Chains A and B, each alone.
Chain A
Amino acid sequence: MSVASGKRGVQALNESLHAIFAERDDVVLFGEDVLDPYGGAFKVTAGLSDAYPDRVLTTPISEASLFGVAAGMALRGQRPILEIMFGDFVALGLDQVVNGISKFREMYDDQVTVPLVVRAPMGARRGYGPTHSQSLEKLLLGIPNVVVVAASECHDVGALLAAAVEDERPVFFVENKLLYGRTIRRPEDGHIGELAVRESGGFYPALTFSATGFGEGSATVVTYGGMLPIVLEAVTELVLEHEIFCEVVALSQLVPMELDAVLESVSRTGALVTAEEGTLTGGFGAEIAARMQEAAWSDLRAPVRRVAARDGIIPSARPLEDAMLPSVEDVVDAVMSLEASR
């Protein structure tokens, strides 16, 4: 199910779904408007209901219940994949996540598992406005016993989705909307473009990029999902215009948080910037900063810097949206600010 470079994200995900359906007949996908010929709001499920009419269900607009329906199916040995049309609507299902899906296994003393996947398109930069553009991952990061996976254009996104379906734990699978139209760029001969790349093991690998072939670097930028291309662009700009050489760690498993790749990178660079598309407070970067100062205080020469969206709404008008969201320049500035401490 490995996805070669060159496909668009939506195609990679779609092909993965077809392969998953061919392999396991206990997988059921449901969500709003997922039937052919429409094939889902972002066309990720195209062709699936034609091929598997009994296993693809279009639903009422009832997210709060659909999370529970998925939970009930998973409790009884099915492998539901719930497509949420816009990740913003995950908010409607949070009771099920907080008080059911994430709790059943542990509070029932391991008598049950809840192997479900919620696919949630997140992210902005398309002018969809305040309620159709958010990156709400941070609402999920603090919930014990769920897995949050975020695909990036440099990951094998199809393999990530297949791993999520095989997982016995509930998995949130975050698809940044821009990923759908982007071209997948997998490492070839240990490189993506000019950057050397290493991929960790595990079902949800971390990618580490280095501008120096894993020699000494100035800073590490840790990010995920739709922020990766922005961070990579910033890293390229830092090399070309400022002769500053960074490493980038792109996580695909956001929680349970495993920071081995970040620790290893920071041991070479001595400084850390976090970059996320969600709003700043209480987010991905905040948790990483807290963990890194506990685990790698002696490796850090400067406080961890966070790059994130401003704490506010995502406006609809594109110039206003751009001003609110983290940019290439924000990442460049954060890394530059750490140079003073060298």
Chain B
Amino acid sequence: MTDLATFYERMFFIRRFEETLLDLFSLGKLVGTTHTYIGQEANAVGLIHHLDPDVDTIFSNHRCHGHYLAFTDDAFGLLCEVMGKAPGVCGGKGGSQHLCKGNFYSNGVLGSIVPVATGIALAEKRKRTGALSTVFLGDGTLGEGVTYESLNIASLWQLPVLFVVENNHYAQSTPIGLELAGSIAARGAAFGVQVDELDTTDVELIDAAAGRAVARIRETGAPFFLVLNTYRFSPHSKSDDQRDLAEIEERRTRDPLLVAGARLSDEERTAIEERCEERLAETVEAADAAPAAAPGVAA
């Protein structure tokens, strides 16, 4: 059992990590792009602790930092990777969207990752490792046809895939009403895949639902389609945000950090936050001092 304080600490660290990336962009210390997870932290934190990083796999998407941190806890490797530093987890070759460490993978083309995660599940099933293959989709991913081919294959072959749809209601700048028809949950059900759907930022509710989903896959070997309705407070990437401020403010009243933080004492919360700030500062300092990735520079 992971306790609420631990959940809070993980969520707060992801939040501050992502905010720090945006700050580093402003300071000119980062180039390229990033897609922050700010607002969605409860999904990664509530779900991923049910997975065993030594056995289970995750295939994530462009918005992968929260998943990566929750699965690997490797903030230094991630920050170096995003900053183009040699000790980055992929030596600076992948950058923000293209991460790989142990059983964690991410890639930057929406939909592309879904069949790969399905193939991973097929391989692990054949090897009888008991591994569960988790893949993170968003509402935007549901526009890509391979998603449905993969659902069909995973159901047909009864593969241990956990499809997690983080519906943050926007595909880049396009609101869901302009990009998606029909029901998200029904998409999973149509393929005979077990579905659960939540509309919450409460990490404890997500934890419970994810625990049930993971247990069911482990028990049956069959895929599961978990829909997590969520919201990102930050822009799609850096400054590309034309959403209604009132909408964002309303959503912020349900900030997962507020929801979980309210259940902790001020003292406990402050101690956690100070610990995270300290760790983050050390990570930034170390990454800043690390050598830049360059041809011939080894980590």
* Cα(A22)–Cα(B6), bound, Å: 51
**Quick one: which of A75-125 are within 8 Å of B by CB?**
75-78, 80, 95-96, 99-100, 103-104, 106-109, 111-112
CB closest residue in chain B, given A106: B93
Which of A62, A96, A108 touches B112 (beta carbons < 8 Å)? A96
- A73: B residues at CB distance < 8 A: 119-120, 122-123
Stretch at the interface among A8-16, A63-71, A147-155, A226-234: A63-71
Which of A74, A76, A103 touches B127 (beta carbons < 8 Å)? A76
Which of A69, A74, A107, A109 touches B153 (beta carbons < 8 Å)? A69
Given contacts A62-B152, A69-B153, contact A75 B116 (CB under 8 A): yes
Given contacts A72-B118, A96-B115, contact A109 B123 (CB under 8 A): no
- A95: B residues at CB distance < 8 A: 109, 112, 146
Given contacts A72-B115, A75-B116, A108-B90, contact A64 B146 (CB under 8 A): yes
Chain A residues with a Cβ closer than 8 Å to the other chain, count: 33
CB closest residue in chain A, given B99: A108
- Proximity bits, B108-131, A CB within 8 Å = 1, else 0: 110011111111111110110000
A212 contacts the other chain (Cβ, under 8 Å)?
Answer: no
B107 contacts the other chain (Cβ, under 8 Å)?
Answer: yes
A60 contacts the other chain (Cβ, under 8 Å)?
Answer: yes
Which of A59, A60, A75, A77 touches B105 (beta carbons < 8 Å)? A75
Q: Are A72 and B119 in contact (CB under 8 A)?
A: yes
Question: How many residue pairs bridge A and B at CB < 8 Å?
Answer: 118
B94 contacts the other chain (Cβ, under 8 Å)?
Answer: yes
Chain B, interface residues (CB within 8 Å), range = 35 or more
- Proximity bits, B1-37, A CB within 8 Å = 1, else 0: 0000000000000000000000000000000000000
* Cα(A77)–Cα(B146), bound, Å: 23
Q: Are A72 and B94 in contact (CB under 8 A)?
A: no
Given contacts A108-B98, A112-B100, contact A72 B127 (CB under 8 A): no
- B119: A residues at CB distance < 8 A: 68-76, 80
Report A's interface with B, CB cutoff 8 A: 28, 57, 59-60, 62, 64-78, 80, 95-96, 99-100, 103-104, 106-109, 111-112
List 16 contacting pairs A-B, 8 Å CB cutoff, sorted by A. Answer: A60-B156, A62-B152, A65-B114, A65-B146, A68-B112, A68-B119, A69-B119, A76-B124, A77-B123, A99-B108, A99-B109, A107-B94, A107-B98, A107-B100, A108-B105, A109-B100
